[in-house]
Amino acid sequence: MMTEANIKRLVSKLSQMRGAALKLGQFMSIQDTHVLPAEIDKIFRRVQDSAHYMPDWQMEQVMTTALGPSWATNFTSFDRIPFAAASIGQVHRAVLSSSASPTGQDEPVAVKIQFPNIANSIESDLGYITLLLTAGKFLPKGLFLDKTIQTMKAELADECDYVREASFMKAFGSSEYLGDDPRFKVPWVWDGSTSNVLVMEHVDGVSVGEANAENLTEEDRNDISARIIELCLKELFEFRTMQTDPNWTNFLWNPRTRQVELVDFGATRTYSKEFMDGWFSLLRAASVDDKDACVEWSLKLGYLTGEENQVMLDAHVNSMTLLATPFKPETPQPFSFGQGTQWADITAQIRAQIPLMLQHRLTPPPKETYSLNRKLSGSFLLASRLGATIDTKAIWDKVVGGYTLG
């Protein structure tokens, strides 16, 4: 099945499907877990780099349906060739006219246009992907693929609603969240946006994935990484609202303003106080190596059933205490990420626990933790990619020092 010719056919088909296929490709391309077999991993990484654009007539059709036949009068200019394509849409540069602009002046904007019928294709796309991943029994049963697919289906449905995304963008840009924090920039949203066309302020930063370590000073790398890790903790323990997609293209670095610009809130989700109290208690227990409390809170949250064998318990608790290492009181600070550091050794140890957990796991993780773990691990992975050195314990104390349970 996994001949080069067949892999090319699969990549071509999945790339045209966009939606779920590209989303899973993005998800897999930013993970460092080595869970998937190399052949499957290779397919999704190639899909990630193969996004297709809409033909011009189709883009025109979507814009006319969303904004009316005279949609172009809202703009003094509109670049009909997109500068980016993602899993469910593509992005165009434009200038919003002064008569439509919230500032009363012509304003550069980014126009995100959703691929037509993408919301209706999620079910069938995920069906094809499930078939691909289960053919030949590539995946271990401990992955609980059906639960992963259910979670991804719900997340994709949310991302297809640009009105929902706009509301979260406005929330994060408000003084209640990041509006008063000069380290971050959240673009404003045009009120004329619809459920499948989102018009937002254009920002000038460069993706932190493209602004690689060679183009950044040590101060830049440390600042970017520290801010994204701090933002991750704030989203969890202060806002209880998290933009859960750590794809590097969602975070831009503007060297002129020295701001991290946040441009994609489609994957945002909220958490209940009850869940976050439990997850905070688990992470705090892991940070002080209280293994009994780790098991207790893992049972309460649903990570464990209480019927697991000792091998599974040890693997689960070890992975949690390793993950919490940057926040432990005894961990030397500042903490170094990247190759040849303590963090590289920690990730290798966590990876060694995965086959044990896949073999002995009795229940899938709580659905809330799929996106939460993706963002937290993605934040650490970014710091590692940038080779950052950060006082992670100071960030932990700053954000969660005043956390109140109940």
Q: What is the CATH number of the domain that holds 65?
A: 3.30.200
* Secondary structure of residue 299 in the 3-state scheme: helix
| Tens-digit pLDDT profile for residues 97-120 | 999 999 999 999 999 999 988 888
Count of CB atoms within 10 A of residue 202's CB?
17
Instruction: Give the C-alpha separation, 257 to 185, whole Å.
Output: 9
User: What backbone phi and psi angles, to 5 degrees, belong to 189?
Assistant: -115, 135
Per-residue model confidence (pLDDT) at position 27: 54
Count of CB atoms within 10 A of residue 61's CB?
13
350 vs 257 pLDDT, higher one: 257
Tell me which residue range forms the domain holding 299.
Answer: 205-406
User: What backbone phi and psi angles, to 5 degrees, belong to 3?
Assistant: -75, 160
* Average of per-residue pLDDT values in the chain: 86
- Tallying the residues shown for the chain, one arrives at 406
List the one residue out of 249, 392, 355 whose CA is nearest residue 33. Answer: 355
| Tens-digit pLDDT profile for residues 125-184 | 777 777 766 665 656 666 677 777 777 788 888 889 999 999 999 999 999 999 999 999
Task: Mark whether 267 and 336 lie in a shared domain.
Answer: yes
Residue 115 is given by DSSP the state P
Out of 151, 183, 200, a domain closes at 200
8 Å CB contact between 55 and 403: no
Instruction: Give the C-alpha separation, 109 to 187, whole Å.
Output: 9
Q: Which of 91-100, 143-152, 192-201, 358-367 has the lowest mean pLDDT?
A: 143-152
List the one residue out of 97, 317, 267, 312 whose CA is nearest residue 192. Answer: 97
Q: Which of 36-45, 229-238, 281-290, 298-307 has the lowest mean pLDDT?
A: 36-45
Instruction: Give the C-alpha separation, 47 to 35, whole Å.
Output: 18
Residue 55 is given by DSSP the state P
Percent of the chain's residues with pLDDT above 90: 55
User: What backbone phi and psi angles, to 5 degrees, belong to 206?
Assistant: -110, 140
Task: Mark whether 170 and 219 lie in a shared domain.
Answer: no
Instruction: Give the C-alpha separation, 233 to 235, whole Å.
Output: 5
What pTM does this model have?
Answer: 0.85
Instruction: Give the C-alpha separation, 80 to 94, whole Å.
Output: 9
Within 8 A by CB and 6+ apart from 361, the residues are: 142, 144, 308, 312
Task: Mark whether 77 and 185 lie in a shared domain.
Answer: yes
Task: Mark whether 192 and 211 lie in a shared domain.
Answer: no
| Tens-digit pLDDT profile for residues 55-99 | 999 999 999 999 999 999 999 999 999 988 777 889 999 999 999
Task: Mark whether 352 and 210 lie in a shared domain.
Answer: yes
Q: Which of 189-203, 211-225, 362-376 has the lowest mean pLDDT?
A: 211-225
8 Å CB contact between 311 and 319: no
Q: Under the phi-then-psi rule, with left for phi > 0, alpha for psi from -120 to 50, and beta for the rest, what region is 194?
A: beta
Number of domains the chain is built from? 3
8 Å CB contact between 84 and 92: no
Instruction: Give the C-alpha separation, 256 to 181, whole Å.
Output: 16
Which residue type sits at 91? V
Instruction: Give the C-alpha separation, 126 to 302, whole Å.
Output: 25
Q: Is the pLDDT of residue 203 over 70?
A: yes
Pairing mode, strands 389-390 and 241-243: unpaired
8 Å CB contact between 19 and 41: no
Task: Mark whether 67 and 36 lie in a shared domain.
Answer: no
Task: Mark whether 155 and 167 lie in a shared domain.
Answer: no
Task: Mark whether 35 and 131 lie in a shared domain.
Answer: yes
List the one residue out of 308, 383, 300 whose CA is nearest residue 339. Answer: 383
151 vs 33 pLDDT, higher one: 151
Task: Mark whether 290 and 259 lie in a shared domain.
Answer: yes
Instruction: Give the C-alpha separation, 275 to 253, whole Å.
Output: 32
Task: Mark whether 327 and 367 lie in a shared domain.
Answer: yes
* Secondary structure of residue 307 in the 3-state scheme: coil
Burial of 270 (0-12, 13-18, 19+ CB in 10 A): middle
Pairing mode, strands 84-85 and 107-114: unpaired
Task: Mark whether 220 and 361 lie in a shared domain.
Answer: yes
Task: Mark whether 180 and 303 lie in a shared domain.
Answer: no
Burial of 137 (0-12, 13-18, 19+ CB in 10 A): exposed
List the one residue out of 109, 112, 127 whose CA is nearest residue 161. Answer: 112
Could you give the residue numbers annotated as active site?
245
Per-residue model confidence (pLDDT) at position 32: 47
Q: Is the pLDDT of residue 30 over 80?
A: no
| Residue 2 C-alpha from the chain's centroid | 29
Out of 138, 170, 200, a domain closes at 200
Out of 92, 127, 159, a domain closes at 159
Strand partners, 251: 262
8 Å CB contact between 94 and 148: no
